[in-house]
């Protein structure tokens, strides 16, 4: 045992010497001292299994699900109906338990799922190539920045303020590793300011990041914004709501080079915020810079149709310095839910769903804007989400609505202090006209009550 310990210590010293540090503690020198753990973890004593179960049950009962309240909360995750068909297929062991299909000869089912999923994403986005998914929407946005840098070598990126705050945060975080910088482009009347974009554009801009519809729910003029970016040789990356693509022009038809997005709305439940999947599609010239992996179709020695992993650009597959992604697992099960959902909807179904969302959203927007103390934050066209201004403290209004069993939406001040009076309201096919009328009644009363409180304090 002593010789084993001695050998281990010698190996440790040799490794530290090789990387040029004197101690293991030196490896953590960049971490602020107040964040370093000193001593053991402050954990309570162990408890019997039965008591642990009861404790966890008590914690779980504090949660409020969308089955217990009427929810108009969106901001990236939405309460859409998930048909029973999806679970019945996902729970099959050949889909539920496999991991990476390293051996295509025994992984044909999984590879075909990836291939069919890619085909569906290409049809949705009107772009010719798709990968086999990434973790989630913001990861896809961040990966697109690296693709842009590989494509044109430029390190300056522009991101509309209409891009989801989480995606912009991801861009900023990953820019440190990519060696890029990210600058915001302002909004005007709820949409990306074309003049501000034109003023910020130059021949050193690698990519422009947009969102359709944007975070405030506004439908962007993507074609005009893309044309301005292309005039300076910049790539255009658009984060899309996939369900809106049944009624809006697809990104590929608007001059977008890379379309990414969050796939939760496609057959994935809220599930406390995850997991879900991110989609990633691009023009063919960027095929080899795309992250993750791409399943392809081929024929075997007997001429029968088969599937393989055509491209694998993850660092566990190729040399790290040539990899375009360090994502080392797959959201294939969640992506399978997405392709099942799209097949369940069908080509006409996704259009009808989009039209239904537009109609119900218009009804909700008009009804709320007619309330005293409520106005629209912008007048741009919307699909299924819109922002309003409240003439009362937003968090107080939300709390009053919650006590009535209604979640009225997302407080925009969480991401932008300048929108302290803003509330983002999301509509899905789960919200009936009666639900919307209930929101109008409850929110109207909450705004009036909060305004009275403010007046009394004044």
| Contact yes or no for 269/130 (Cβ under 8 A) | no
The answer to whether residues 363 and 284 belong to one domain is no
Same domain, residue pair 296 and 283: yes
Residue 424 forms part of a structural domain: yes
Residue 420 has pLDDT above 60, yes or no: yes
> pLDDT value at position 1?
38
* Confidence check: pLDDT of 125 > 70: yes
In this structure, the answer to whether residues 257 and 381 fall within a common structural domain is no
CB 280 within 8 A of CB 131: yes
Residue 394 shares a structural domain with residue 258 = no
Q: Do 432 and 299 share a structural domain?
A: no
In a domain, 19, yes or no: no
One domain, residues 418 and 282: no
Q: Are 361 and 250 within one domain? A: no
Q: Tell me, what's the pLDDT at 3?
A: 42
Same domain assignment for residues 74 and 131: no
Q: What is the pLDDT of residue 96?
A: 87
Indicate if 292 and 335 belong to the same structural domain: yes
Least Cα distance to 267 among 259, 258, 279 occurs for 279
Q: Is residue 371 in some structural domain?
A: yes
* Least confident stretch, 89-93, 203-207, 320-324, 342-346: 320-324
55 in any annotated domain: no
pLDDT digit string, tens, across residues 234-262: 999 999 999 999 999 999 999 999 999 99
Check which CATH number belongs to the domain holding 406 and give it: 3.90.1150.10
Q: Which CATH number goes with the domain that contains 136?
A: 3.40.640.10
What pLDDT is recorded for position 25?
84
Mean pLDDT, rounded, of the chain: 92
Q: What is the pLDDT of residue 300?
A: 87
**163-200: burial string, b at 16+ Cβ within 10 Å, e else:** bbbbbbebbbebbeebebebebbebeebbbbbebbeeb
- Examine the domain organization and report whether 337 and 379 are in the same domain: no
Establish if 46 belongs to a structural domain: no
Is 329 in the same domain as 392?
Answer: no
In the predicted model, what is the mean pLDDT of residues 145-158?
Answer: 95
Average pLDDT over residues 393-415: 97
- The runs of H, that is alpha helices, within 81-133 are 84-90, 93-96, 108-125
Encode pLDDT of 169-182 as tens digits.
999 999 988 899 99
Residue 32 within a domain:
no
- Residue 379: which domain range? 70-79+347-457
Residue 313 has pLDDT above 80, yes or no: no
Nearest to 148 by CA among 157, 161, 137: 157
Q: Which of 342, 377, 400 is the last residue of a domain?
A: 342
Give the mean pLDDT of 126-140: 93
Q: List the one residue out of 214, 141, 206, 201 whose CA is nearest residue 174.
A: 141
Pairing mode of beta strands 278-282, 258-262 = antiparallel
CA distance 129 to 292: 13
Task: Specify the number of domains making up the chain.
Answer: 2
Could you tell me if residue 23 is inside a domain? no
**pLDDT at site 2:** 40
The percent of residues above 90 in pLDDT, for the chain, comes to 72
Q: Is residue 5's pLDDT more than 50?
A: no
What pLDDT is stored for residue 87 in this prediction?
A: 94
239 with 95, same domain? yes
The residue among 286, 317, 342 that closes a domain is 342
In a domain, 298, yes or no: yes
């Amino acid at each position: 045992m002593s010789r084993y310990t001695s050998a281990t210590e010698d190996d440790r010293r040799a490794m530290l010497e090789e990387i040029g540090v004197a101690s293991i503690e030196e490896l953590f020198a960049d971490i602020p001292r107040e964040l370093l753990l000193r001593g053991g973890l402050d954990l309570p004593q162990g408890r019997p299994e039965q008591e642990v179960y009861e404790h966890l049950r008590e914690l779980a009962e504090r949660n409020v699900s969308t089955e217990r309240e009427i929810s108009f909360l969106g901001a990236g995750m939405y309460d859409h109906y998930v048909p029973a068909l999806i679970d019945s297929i996902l729970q099959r062991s050949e889909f539920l338990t496999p991991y990476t299909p390293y051996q295509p000869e025994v992984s044909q089912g999984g590879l075909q799922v990836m291939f069919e999923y890619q085909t569906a994403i290409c049809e949705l986005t009107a772009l010719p190539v798709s990968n086999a998914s990434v973790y989630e929407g913001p990861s896809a946005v961040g990966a697109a920045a690296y693709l842009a840098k590989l494509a044109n070598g430029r390190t300056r990126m522009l991101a509309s303020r209409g891009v989801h705050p989480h995606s912009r945060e991801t861009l900023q975080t990953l820019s440190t590793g990519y060696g890029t910088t990210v600058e915001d482009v302002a909004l005007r009347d709820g949409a990306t300011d074309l003049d501000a974009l034109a003023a910020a554009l130059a021949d050193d801009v690698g990519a422009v990041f947009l969102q359709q519809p944007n975070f405030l729910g506004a439908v962007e003029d993507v074609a005009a914004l893309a044309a301005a970016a292309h005039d300076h040789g910049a790539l255009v990356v658009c984060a899309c709501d996939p369900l809106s693509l049944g009624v809006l022009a697809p990104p590929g038809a608007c001059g977008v080079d890379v379309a990414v997005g969050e796939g939760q709305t496609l057959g994935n439940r809220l599930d406390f915020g995850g997991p879900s999947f991110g989609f990633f599609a691009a023009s063919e010239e960027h095929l080899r810079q795309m992250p993750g992996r791409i399943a392809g179709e081929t024929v075997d020695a007997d001429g029968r149709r088969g599937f393989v992993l055509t491209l694998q650009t993850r660092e566990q597959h190729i040399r790290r310095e040539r990899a375009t992604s360090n994502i080392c697992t797959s959201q294939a099960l969640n992506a399978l839910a997405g392709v099942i959902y799209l097949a369940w909807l069908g080509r006409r179904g996704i259009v009808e769903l989009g039209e239904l969302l537009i109609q119900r959203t218009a009804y909700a927007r008009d009804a709320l804007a007619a309330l005293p103390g409520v106005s629209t934050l912008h007048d741009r066209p919307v699909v299924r989400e819109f922002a309003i201004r409240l003439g009362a403290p937003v968090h107080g209004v939300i709390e009053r609505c919650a006590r009535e069993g209604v979640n009225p939406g997302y407080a925009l001040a969480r991401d932008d202090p300048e929108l302290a009076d803003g509330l983002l309201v999301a509509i899905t096919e789960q919200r009936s006209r009666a639900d919307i009328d209930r929101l109008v009644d409850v929110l109207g009363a909450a705004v009036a009550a909060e305004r009275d409180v403010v007046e009394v304090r004044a």
